[in-house]
A and B are shown apart, each in its own frame.
Chain A
Amino acid sequence: MAKAFQKIYTQISQITKATCMLKATGVGYDELATVDGVLAQVVKINGDEVTLQVFQGTEGIRTNAEVVFLGKSPTLKVGSQLAGRFFNAFGDPIDGGAVPEGEEREIGGPSVNPVRRKQPSELIATGMAGIDLNNTLVTGQKIPFFADPDQPFNQVMATVALRAETDKIILGGMGLANDDYLYFKNVFSNAGSLDRIISFVNTTEDPPVERLLIPDMALTAAEYFAVDKNEKVLVLLTDMSSYADALAIVSNRMDQIPSKDSMPGSLYSDLAKIYEKAVQFPDGGSITIIAVTTLSGGDITHSVPDNTGYITEGQLFLRRDSDIGKVIVDPFRSLSRLKQLVIGKKTREDHPQVMNAAVRLYSDAANAKTKLENGFDLSNYDERTLAFAKDYSNNLLAIDVNINTTEMLDEAWTLFAKHFKPEEVNIKKELVDKYWKSN
């Protein structure tokens, strides 16, 4: 590994589960090193004592292991040859193919000057009304699925990726089950779009600390295509909770004082560094990030979803609706903060009001349901909201829906007319006059 005249250290003074410490000079912060050929990174320097985080763990590391500092931070070779390939956390191919040629770039680069960003304004259609109608996605947006582990978030994400009109899809898999990795590979190859997909994968079989490199690798590749090639790039990150767990492991092994929920104090900054890579560039290129944050028992007050929610532009919740026996995109807790930039502008004028009215009526149905559960008689209005809610879930919210936005709006008006009187939907009169479907 060592180049000629490179200084080799062989005196490790301390080894913990993830780090080792040694005396060395001239070492830069964040610099990479190898410890007996295994990759490590500088995480702390105190005088001539350097602490290295060993990515694959320190099991079997000798106190006299050969340590070589590489004089650079982690890098990725970027170029058009990345397309269609599968890589590990270090950017090495795992698909048996050749090492791609390209320009070497440091990962985790600086942030975009906010005044050089462009306001996102292009809609990303997914065909699912739970997303397009209620929580419309926009290029340059960052949004996670908040989901319990048993929910089909990876399937939904793969569907979104394939239906979205983008130039590149970059998958960052962190602690991905091998089966899920193969699922993505399968779906992408079967759709015949493998050539526009690039994957950086760390499966559950790989060391957890390596996960920390995955998002930066994926986003460095994304920046290459978005900035250098002006392409529309969609980045899928699954799952950010296991990324955060890896952060906690490292901070714990470095004896840092844990902050809330045993997460490191820098969790917000760590997550923001990743999510804020989502951007619409003025020259047309864009990076859109759709991520997954798995919840434990639906708890969104936990540090990881909580901090994520404050960084991302909304969140999507999946829920199994027992009334229709399908998974739906929950209209209550889901939100796309950027939807205002496109709905009623890129979509039909009635979109904002129709969307709100439908959710409001759906919430009336939830009240009616509570009444029912408490053993009370339902009013005629209650009965109608319940009937509406069922149709709404089936025809619009369910994730198996695949229609365009105009069809979604028409469907909503059809349901309004089927169950309600015009004055019950609280929509601007001029829109009711124009779109109400009188039977």
Chain B
Amino acid sequence: MATKGIVKGIVSNLVTVEADGPVLQNEICYIHTGGDRLMAEVIKVIGKNAFVQVYESTRGLKVGAETEFAGHMLEVTLGPGLLSKNYDGLQNDLDKMEGTFLKRGDYTFPLDEKKVWDFKPLAQKGDTVKAGSWIGEVDENLQPHKIMVPFVLEGTYTIKKIAEAGQYTIYDKIATITDGSGKDIELDMVQKWPVRKAITVYKDKPRPFKLLETGVRVIDTANPIVEGGTGFIPGAFGTGKTVLQHAISKQAEADIVIMAACGERANEVVEIFAEFPHLEDPHTGRKLMERTIIVANTSNMPVAAREASVYTAMTIGEYYRSMGLKVLLMADSTSRWAQALREMSNRLEELPGPDAFPMDLSAIISNFYGRAGYVILDNDQTGSITFIGTVSPAGGNLKEPVTENTQKVARCFYALEQDRADKKRYPAVNPIDSYSKYLEYPEFSEYIRERISSDWIGKVNELKTRMQRGKEIAEQINILGDDGVPVSYHITYWKSELIDFVILQQDAFDKIDSITSIERQKYMLELIMRICHADFEFSSFTDVMDHFKKMINVCKQMNYSEFKSDEFDAFEKELHALVNEKAV
């Protein structure tokens, strides 16, 4: 019999429930109040008392309220029809919820129960299968959505019956499988999985090495991320995290994009809702929304659901990865998620760790990032989850716990800098502090050698060295004055400015400049590097500046022009003329 309970105490969204039977840590329960059913999760148990965090407002809740325990942890429902959906952190389909305001206790089923799918079997009678095996396929927005043996099943099974190709709903039985003892299990297209546990139905998880193109130059050229890689974007508010994140999610070459807005500004979430349906996927020409899933928890939606939202998003990502797809997961922002953890820990009166975050914050963060990755499935197909989280460090201080703990686990670091943002140098990714560990991977070098060019990584490293040298000279000029350093220093400095303005800065709001193909990035990097290698002669430092400003201006016009168009070529000619004017 299911465990029941009675509410004993209430402090905001932390409720104490006295249970009459066994309780599972992280079990879901429903509290009945005034006709509403409030969903909650067990976060601590002491004796008969379960401490539950309620995913909704507890206004009006009274001691004595009846509670039923669900017998399982927080789960997501997985099946065809997840794409293009707008969910909240608990996987409620927001579009199905009626009314302008969210109603307490209103939960909606995340999939469409009536929709008919075009099913194609992939397995045959007699095949041996196990959790995660692909037994069939449906077409979901032109993506092959694999129907898999439920992840919860252990051991191997034999297919006893499989449906013929045809039209089925998610609840139609499409297969019967038999276990070793001869027990039959009937399968439909839906399965459930607890969000806090990773889905690990793969054979191997090697180091990732394939470049994931984002069209953002400061990432692809200077600090590349790979399929199945991890990265994070810390930055004080106003440094352009959201714009950068949106650019990546719009442009990245992924099969599936999942955006987890945890505790984000509602108007930013609306921006995604409003824009994505109209935007074209630059890689397929289809609508972006067709490959996108949004898990949206605005900052005023209850704190506990905010905490759950990143797990919901990650689990959906793992589901698609198990189908052999390239998933990009963006979480904005993991600081708000950490803050939700802090809020609950504070309510539980736990002894606080650094900056009042829970002591196990580092373990929670590393465990979460660990769920991303590039995997080889049992059928030797590959799939990946590339995870990029944004972090909002208090006051832009990168020494705070969320940033520090994230830096330990994420392989790419895109440090947004206030100073660059103030100067409108966007994206405000600091060229010296930021890094991509993948540049050091031999697997990655090999891949780049084959796909781009043999000296690409050398050029990227040179770019970084030049940026650093430029910064050092700028500091020297600040101390010694323009006249205090030789003219050659000014030339070196302005070469770094050229790289900055032309390669690293990018106008996210310009149709052409906002997305740069790898081919174009290669062309521009080589062009700029040739200029950097040229020797120039100038009579004074002001001449250096004047001349480089002209070159930068022409290069920017190139960036605004269609690649290799007449306009582009004309600007390039103008640039060469400018270079030749002063080169020796």
Contact = CB atoms under 8 A, between A and B. Distances in A.
B101 A306 contact: no
Interface string B52-79: 0000011111111000000000000000
A227 B100 CA distance: 9
B303 A266 contact: yes
Contacts of A97: none
Interface string B262-286: 0101111111011100000000000
Contacts of A309: 236-238
Contacts of B343: 265-266, 268-269
- Which among B12, B62, B392, B424 has the greatest number of chain A C-beta atoms within 10 A? B424
Interface residues of A, number: 86
Given A268-B336, A276-B299, A363-B422, A45 B99 contact: no
A383 to B, nearest CB: 11
Interface string B344-357: 01110100100110
A341 B211 CA distance: 33
Given A44-B9, A110-B103, A266-B346, 12 more contacts: A27-B62, A31-B60, A113-B94, A113-B97, A120-B267, A306-B394, A309-B236, A310-B392, A313-B265, A337-B268, A341-B271, A377-B483
B577 to A, nearest CB: 14
B2 interface: no
Given A27-B62, A113-B94, A273-B300, A311 B422 contact: no
A45 B549 contact: no
A119 B267 contact: yes
B303 A257 contact: no
Contacts of B335: 310
B146 interface: no
A377 B62 contact: no
Contact of A428 (B10, B57, B64, B557): B557
Contacts of A423: 549-550, 553
Contact of A45 (B63, B299, B553): B63
A297 to B, nearest CB: 13
B566 to A, nearest CB: 14
B95 interface: yes
A361 to B, nearest CB: 10
Contacts of B301: 111
Given A29-B61, A119-B267, A272-B300, A112 B100 contact: yes
B395 interface: yes
Contacts of A380: 542
A295 B168 CA distance: 61
Given A29-B58, A31-B60, A115 B86 contact: yes
Q: How large is the interface on B (under 10, 10 to 19, 20 to 34, 35 or more residues)?
A: 35 or more
Nearest to A263: B356
Contact of A303 (B299, B333, B394): B394
Interface string A351-371: 010001001100100000011
A272 B347 contact: no
B571 to A, nearest CB: 9
Contacts, number: 226
Nearest to A259: B356
B267 A73 contact: no
A278 B265 CA distance: 10
Interface in B344-373: 345-347, 349, 352, 355-356
Contacts of A341: 271
A379 interface: yes
A110 B99 CA distance: 11
A116 B100 contact: yes
A361 B115 CA distance: 57
Nearest to A422: B553
Interface string A102-128: 000010011111111111100000000
A27 B395 contact: no
A192 interface: no
A48 B61 CA distance: 13
A64 B443 CA distance: 77
Contacts of A109: 101
A167 interface: no
B99 A113 contact: yes
A253 to B, nearest CB: 14
14 contacts: A28-B61, A28-B62, A46-B16, A110-B57, A114-B266, A120-B270, A256-B346, A257-B356, A259-B346, A265-B347, A310-B392, A371-B482, A376-B484, A428-B560
Contacts of A310: 237, 299, 333, 335-336, 392
